[in-house]
A and B are shown apart, each in its own frame.
Chain A
Amino acid sequence: MNNDFHYYATYCSAYLAGYSHEECLEICYSAQLVDWCTRTFLSKLKAPLAAATTQLSLELMDERSDSIGIQDITRIWSSFHFLPYDLHAKKPHCSKRYLNKYRLICKPNGDLLAKTVNLAKGKSLQAVGIAMHVLADTWAHKNFAGTPSLVINNINYYIYELLPDDEGFTERPIKFSHNPSAKDDIENSVYVNTIYQDSENAIMNLGHGRAGHLPDYSFIRYKYLPAWAEYEEELKDNPSDYYHAVCQMVYAMKYLRGEYETFEKCTYDIESVGKWEKRIKDIIGKRRLNAAEDWKALGEELSGEKIVPFELERYHNEFTSADDKENTFLGKFINAALAQKSMVSTEIYQSGNKLAGHPVNPDKEGFKKKRRSERSGKKGKGGKEI
Chain B
Amino acid sequence: MSVSQKIKSVITSVLYIALALILILKPDNGMIITAAVLSLALLIYGIRFLYFYFTLSRHMVGGRRELYISVILLDLAFFVLALKDIPQIYIAIYLIIFHILSGVIDFLRSVESLQFRAPVWRFKLISGIIHIIIAVLCVVFIRSTEILVYVYSAGLIYSAATRIINAFSKKSFVYIQ
Question: Which residues of A pack against B, CB within 8 Å?
Answer: 1-2, 35, 54, 56-57, 60-66, 69, 81, 91, 94-95, 97-98, 101-102, 150-152, 154, 156, 177-182, 192-195, 198, 200, 203-204, 206-209, 212-213, 216, 225-231
As a 0/1 sequence over residues 47 to 62 of chain B, the CB contacts with chain A under 8 angstroms (1 = contact) are 0000010111101111
Those of B31-67 within 8 Å (CB) of chain A: 52, 54-57, 59-63, 66
B63 to chain A, nearest CB (A): 7
Q: Quick one: which of B2, B57, B63, B172 contacts A180, CB cutoff 8 A?
A: B172
Question: Which residues of B pack against A, CB within 8 Å?
Answer: 1-5, 52, 54-57, 59-63, 66, 116-118, 171-177
The dominant DSSP class at the A interface is: loop
Residues from chain A with Cβ under 8 Å of B61 in the complex: 154, 156, 225-231
A61 and B2 contact, CB distance less than 8 A: yes
Across chains A and B, the number of contacting residue pairs, with CB separation under 8 Å, is: 99
B60 and A66 contact, CB distance less than 8 A: no
Output the nearest chain B residue to A207 by Cβ-Cβ distance: B176
A102 to B4, alpha carbons, bound, how many Å? 26
Residues from chain B with Cβ under 8 Å of A206 in the complex: 176
Output the nearest chain A residue to B115 by Cβ-Cβ distance: A177
A64 and B4 contact, CB distance less than 8 A: yes
Residues from chain B with Cβ under 8 Å of A225 in the complex: 61
Known: A200-B56, A226-B61. A65 touches B4 (CB 8 A): yes
A204 and B60 contact, CB distance less than 8 A: no
A203 and B173 contact, CB distance less than 8 A: yes
30 contacts between A and B (CB under 8 A): A1-B177, A62-B2, A64-B3, A65-B4, A65-B5, A66-B4, A91-B59, A95-B55, A97-B56, A98-B55, A101-B56, A150-B56, A150-B60, A151-B57, A151-B60, A154-B62, A156-B62, A177-B116, A178-B118, A179-B117, A195-B173, A200-B52, A203-B2, A204-B173, A207-B176, A212-B174, A226-B61, A227-B62, A228-B59, A230-B59
